[in-house]
Amino acid sequence: MAPRSSLLPAARTAPRAVPFVRDLADHGDRPAVVTRHGDVSYAALAERVAAVADGLGTVRRLVLVVGTNTVESLVAYLGAVHGGHPVLLVPDGHDAALAALVAAYDPDVVLAPAGGWAVDERRPGTAHDLHPDLALLLSTSGSTGSPKLVRLSHTNLQANAESIGRYLGIRPTDRAITSLPLHYCYGLSVVHSHLARGATLVLTDLSVADACFWELFRDARCTTLAGVPYTFELLERVGFAGMDLPHLRYVTQAGGRLAPDRVRRLAELGRRAGWRLFVMYGQTEATARMAYLPPELAEDHPAAIGVPVPGGAFELAPVADQPDPAVGELVYTGPNVMLGYAEGPGDLALGRTVDVLRTGDLARRTPEGLYEIVGRRSRFAKILGLRVDPQRVEALLDRHGVAATCVGGDDDLVVAVVGTPDERRVRRLVADEVGLPPHAVRVLALAELPRLASGKPDLPALRALAATPAPAAGRDPVDDGRDPVGDGRDPVGELCRLYAQVLDRDDVTAGQSFVDLGGDSLSYVQMSVRLERELGHLPANWHTLPIAELRRAAGRPRRRRSLETSVALRAAAIVLIVGSHIPLFTVTGGAHLLLGVAGFNFARFQLTPAGRIDRLRQIGASLARIVLPTVAWIGAVMLVSDQYGPSTLLLLHSLAGPPDSATGWHFWFIEAVVYLLVGLTALLGLRRVDRLERRYPFALPLGLTALGLLGRYDVFGLDARHDLPTALVAGWLFTLGWAAARADGVRQRLLVTVAAAVTVPGFFGQPSREALVVAGLALLVWLPSVPSLGVVNRVAGVLAGSSLYIYLTHWQVYPHLRDVPLLALAASLAVGVAYAMVVDRVGRRISASTKR
């Protein structure tokens, strides 16, 4: 682009530099950056940063950098800072916001990804008068496209990095993963503080909901994890509490208020697992951090933001009309307070216009000297003449189990709730607490809350949604009215409808996962096959991902189809069982392999992050789905033949005999699963055991496997004398499958595999049978999915989803067709599938009747 005639004279004074950026080379060959593609040492990073600085020249210019979690973006940003150039850091993927900021501030240089990393030198000099203290320009509170920016100085950046490093105790050996965007002040503060201490950054743009994120986390030996409240919602869904993260030293939280009960739970989890939780408070205007809660106080004071960061101080300024004299506006002073705001390029010449930071938050100081936020001045709304604090309303609803975000309208208070809330109850709760009439409380049900790139609720977008007309009557409740693909279809809504159909529920929302919706091992098969057909590829942890996250995590559809290993094993095992009983062939061991698969699915679908009582309800529901169809079938057979007796009907043959029955053993597998589920329900019903399972999710099933091996090897000779039920003799296969589901990392997977390889041989005295069980368990541990074809997926899905019913009914089918083995196999499978359809239809009718 040609130079403009209005260029200002070039500044020839030596540019200022941020010390921790200037001194990168002092850390030598220590790793500065780790990625999936390799490492970059501090010395190499310093060379690349210096090269960018040299390329930008000695004249101070306004440099716009598109912030991405990549080495190229990091080098571009640090290079501009190193050269003393003020940087306008903007998010990637927001073309409209980028265009708005370019138009508003007219940067001299733009550094952005464009099929690589492009330098757009818009003029050789500068069009701006740039104050010598100006180092960085950031959007306020993670917003995008707004011309109002925060002006930060070199001193601000250095002071805040040093302060954070001091109270977190960052060591040169620490490794922080970039779980937040680089352009967001919280994510950027992680970068600054670790570079200032000579620590390592693990760069990634993966979500914490992605299994690959955690593989990188473990492989890179990460010690630090940062998150906003939304991050911790995702962590609960992906089973963070049960992960084996041996190098994790501390977890930090900022970017919004985290509910006190969740703070307490996280602090307790960290204490048990050996890492510390730092709850922090800050704003972009303070270069990120103003306060932190010492980890040892988090469990006892989970509502507090803590104490000022080193070098900072708080005071409480009186607020008019505030009824509590102990509450005031929180005012912060410190070397990290911004220079001031910029609302146009003319403001870039300004020096310091702000000495203290009025946060806009209402706070009080506890007797222990800790500060606690109780509301926000700027979010107050005046509705029907009454002053309302939306944050107070959110806290009220949270205490009643309703997660909501509130904004004030002109004539009403808008309460946005994800899902399908009881609107009448929400209105009554708010009206009673605040004093508003119910008609002034509008409940806005959304499939997904709009969020900024930082994970915070996007309040302007929420106000825009609230201002749009209500959807027409009869509209699908899972459709939030947005069309993210622009072709008239809402892909998230389509997935919600698919979940609703398979799970027979009418309360499906985009924020829920398969596990949240009460999915179990029976519905899992149908769901996984249909999702694989819809999305083309499923991540290993799809059942724990919110529906809204699932489509993104699935990525682009693959040409090659795959089938989940547990589904493939269930389908193959039931064919082997029936075929061997006919016998069309003799490949035994399928039922014992299914016992391991049952344990695997038990861990995934019954041992969810839900509370103890909810877990017990889920296990009870699974028991009912096994026992009722089984008893119904056996009872129907007893009406037309004398093949079974009362002990078989009551699933007590393993305990009550008679031992000489020729057919009573038919249902040993179902009895074993039922006994195991009943026993584990009793065990996990104990609060102490429930806590133990959550604290040691892998060690507990492994310990139970060791206990179960007493029955497998008949250590006390009880089986020889009393013919113990299979649940006691072979129950270790179930708990080993449970351990396989909880195995996290190579070492734990290897331990499960070795346990199977050592304990299964000799159990049957049939090497081929034992090899089948060991191989199946190994596949379950190491391969989330196996290559497949679309038609194979559909057949395997039907067989796996009907495996219980095929096992149940085949005893009455194949004996009549033994002379034609292939027909006997086909008929046995067909009858079982038909019975599964009958059970499903009856279940749906009962469910519909109950709802009516």
Work out whether strand 31-35 and strand 63-67 pair parallel, antiparallel, or are unpaired.
unpaired
Structure tokens at 203: 């760069």
111-144: burial string, b at 16+ Cβ within 10 Å, e else: bbeeeebeeeebbebbbbebbbbbbbbbbebbbb
- CA distances in angstroms from 526 to 508, 522, 776, 842, listed in the order given: 17, 8, 21, 17
The pLDDT of residue 483 is: 33
- pLDDT tens, 313-337? 999 999 876 778 899 999 999 999 9
The pLDDT of residue 159 is: 97
Beta bridge partners, 151, equal 137, 340
Give the list of residues 6+ apart from residue 715 with CB closer than 8 angstroms, or none. Answer: none
pLDDT, block means (10 residues), the chain with 852 residues = 34 65 96 93 96 93 95 96 96 79 94 82 92 93 67 97 97 96 93 98 92 92 93 88 93 90 94 96 94 96 96 93 85 97 94 94 94 77 65 83 80 83 83 71 84 74 68 34 36 77 75 76 74 72 76 56 88 96 93 95 84 85 93 96 93 85 89 96 92 90 95 86 84 96 90 96 92 95 87 89 95 94 96 93 75 52
> Could you give the CA distance from residue 680 to residue 675 in angstroms, rounded to a whole number?
9
Provide the CATH number for the domain formed by 19-372 in this structure: 3.40.50.12780
**Contact call for residues 207 and 539 (beta carbons, < 8 A):** no
427-456: burial string, b at 16+ Cβ within 10 Å, e else: bebbbeebebeeebbbbbbbbbbbbbbbbb
**Contact call for residues 158 and 311 (beta carbons, < 8 A):** no
Structure tokens at 428: 């009554």
Omega of the bond leading into 658 within 30 degrees of 0 (cis): yes
> Could you give the CA distance from residue 740 to residue 748 in angstroms, rounded to a whole number?
8
- Provide the 8-state DSSP code for 386: E
Helix (H, G, I), strand (E, B) or coil at 334: coil
Beta bridge partners, 315, equal 331
- CA distances in angstroms from 312 to 257, 291, 308, 792, listed in the order given: 21, 8, 6, 64
**Contact call for residues 390 and 372 (beta carbons, < 8 A):** no
pTM assigned to the model: 0.55
> Could you give the CA distance from residue 146 to residue 410 in angstroms, rounded to a whole number?
23
Which fold does the domain 491-559 belong to in CATH? Answer: 1.10.1200
* Number of other residues whose CB lies within 10 A of the CB of residue 823: 14
Give the list of residues 6+ apart from residue 285 with CB closer than 8 angstroms, or none. Answer: 140, 150, 337, 338, 354, 357
> Could you give the CA distance from residue 536 to residue 496 in angstroms, rounded to a whole number?
17
Q: What are phi and psi of 110, to 5 degrees?
A: -120, 125
Is 19-372's fold the same as 491-559's? no
Beta bridge partners, 371, equal 306, 365
The pLDDT of residue 387 is: 62
Q: Which CATH class is domain 379-467?
A: alpha beta
Give the list of residues 6+ apart from residue 328 with CB closer than 8 angstroms, or none. Answer: 316, 317, 318, 319, 322, 362, 363, 364
**Contact call for residues 625 and 598 (beta carbons, < 8 A):** no
In sequence order, what E strands does 655-800 have? 785-788
Domain ranges of the chain: 19-372, 379-467, 491-559, 565-572+585-800
